[in-house]
Structure 1
Amino acid sequence: MRLEQEQIDAFFENGFVLADGFLDLDELDHLRACYMETIDRLKREQVLENVQSGSDRDEDFQVYQIRTAHLRHPVFRMLINDSRLLDMVESLIGPDIRLIHYQGIYKPAYTGGEVRWHQDNDYFKVAENRTISVWLALDDVTVENGCMWYPPGHHHQLLEHEQLWSTSEKKGFYLAIPEIDDTRALPAESRAAVLPFIIV
């Protein structure tokens, strides 16, 4: 399952592209069930922490991160080794593929704080200009429930970031671009299981 040339051209021109048809409904339902099973298990093991601004005490407003997701459940390991996904990645950066970071974010709609503009590679510090991010939404994402936005063309250079604390207790930090022209930013609204590929 390789990307079409039109998608590849859009990816390099704008810095992102959406790709449909990766998972069918049965696969998506199974992935959702495994995801929630993993969240519940890690909660019981008390290894989940709120990683977003807001109250650390209100269970309804927690934003959880599953770190090293491929080590937490076999389905996540199978997902990143899926030949359909790898073929799409290869069509963008070639066959030499390496995983840098794999996480699952549990963020119910209308919860958590604002996510500031940022480029993921400011976390990764990969010098080679072949770093992309791929994420998979398990639910439909819209402007109303907090979809991602992408400013076209900002992938051509690494912008300056500042470090900010993600919670009042300073449990973690995140990086943000202090100033950016976001007047041309586009919302990445999509159905569940549509894959955004982003140059980071």
Structure 2
Amino acid sequence: MGIVGNLSPDQLQFFNSQGYLVIESFASKDEIDAMMKRMQQLLDDFDPSSTASIFSTKNQQQSTDDYFYESVEKVSYFFEEKAFGDDGNLKQPKQLSINKVGHALHEIEPAFKKFSFSEKFSSLMYSLGYKRPAILQSMYIFKQPGIGGEVVPHQDSSFLYTEPETCTGLWLALEDANIINGCLWAIPGSHKNGLVRRFVRDEDGVKFDRPSPSYDRKDFVPIDVKAGSLVVIHGDLIHQSFENQSPKSRHAYSLHVVDTDGCKWAPENWIRRKVEPEPLYVS
């Protein structure tokens, strides 16, 4: 198939019809080990008393603060909702209490930047028709054993809206992800129905512009993948993940890409960068 990121006609057809695509063995063991090792070092050095910011897809309107807003160009740490006891203290070690780290790992941390700006990532985005792709955010997601929180059904374009819509999610499994430890679930073909709501920011904070539709769980299919697999997600695909009630974590590295050629970034998006993102190039 040539360069790893170059998509075949069959892969493009599947992505266009289903709204997602799994590319097995996209990341090598060395790449995964480098990112996981660096994240362990970051957590070891992190002082949990410096923030008590919590990430929640159910209550993010209440949880959003300046720390969250400023994370777009920093490496910031967000706890699980169930990480704290009634006394306000962590119930377990910080390494097992973090929900995610984001949102500029791809710009600041060399191990993540090397992978994120690799030729295979660039080739993938150009295969999808991007003219000047740029990464808007990156996240290391832990899905902690026992307390890894649910991510409710959503569309990535709700949060990263451009006109026309160009958001694509790239979700790399750093560990095996299955129905036991909280893999992704999606409604195949749901991207064809368009964007159902937007997450907007104004002087009062952030909010969705309309209530969430209700979804039937039987319409979702699990995306069970091995470590190293990349899941490419259309910005309008309805997807979610359930709580991790197993004793095994489900680490993942997630990025969101938009096209910066001929596309307008919505000013009411929650992300408001001070510096333009560096485009992805194919040499």
**TM bucket normalised to smaller:** 0.7 to 0.9
Q: Which amino acid aligns with 2:234?
A: I
Are residues 1:136 and 2:172 paired?
A: yes
Q: Identity of aligned pairs, percent?
A: 22
What TM-score results when the alignment is normalised by the length of structure 2?
Answer: 0.60
Asked whether the equivalents of residues 63 and 106 of structure 1 are also in contact (C-alpha less than 8 Å), the reply is: yes
Give the structure 2 partner of residue 196 of structure 1: 231
Deviations 1:138-188 (A, max 9, x none): 10000000001011122120013689xxxxxxxx97868341244221111
Report the CA distance shift for 1:174/1:31 in structure 2 as closer, same or farther (over 3 A): farther
Unpaired runs of 5+ in structure 2?
Answer: 57-80, 85-89, 236-283
Report the CA distance shift for 1:160/1:43 in structure 2 as closer, same or farther (over 3 A): same
Asked whether the equivalents of residues 162 and 178 of structure 1 are also in contact (C-alpha less than 8 Å), the reply is: no
- C-alpha RMSD of the superposition: 2.6
- Consecutive aligned runs of 4 or more in structure 1 exceeding 4 Å deviation: 172-176
The separation in 1 between residues aligned to 2:219 and 2:137, in whole angstroms, is 29
Return the index of the structure with the highest Cα Rg.
2
Asked whether the equivalents of residues 140 and 192 of structure 1 are also in contact (C-alpha less than 8 Å), the reply is: yes
**Comparing 179-188 with 2-11, which one deviates more in the overlay?**
179-188
What SS class does the counterpart of residue 135 from structure 1 fall into? Answer: strand
Give the structure 2 partner of residue 67 of structure 1: 103
Report the CA distance shift for 1:89/1:109 in structure 2 as closer, same or farther (over 3 A): farther
What SS class does the counterpart of residue 163 from structure 2 fall into? Answer: coil
Which of 93, 104, 108 is 2:129 aligned to?
Answer: 93
What TM-score results when the alignment is normalised by the length of structure 1?
Answer: 0.83
Unpaired runs of 5+ in structure 1?
Answer: 164-171
Are residues 1:78 and 2:114 paired?
A: yes
User: What is the count of residue pairs matched by the alignment?
Assistant: 192
More strand by share: 2
Give the structure 2 partner of residue 26 of structure 1: 30
Q: Which amino acid aligns with 1:68?
A: A
What SS class does the counterpart of residue 66 from structure 1 fall into? Answer: strand
Give the structure 2 partner of residue 42 of structure 1: 46
Which of 168, 177, 195 is 1:158 aligned to?
Answer: 195
Q: Which amino acid aligns with 2:160?
A: F
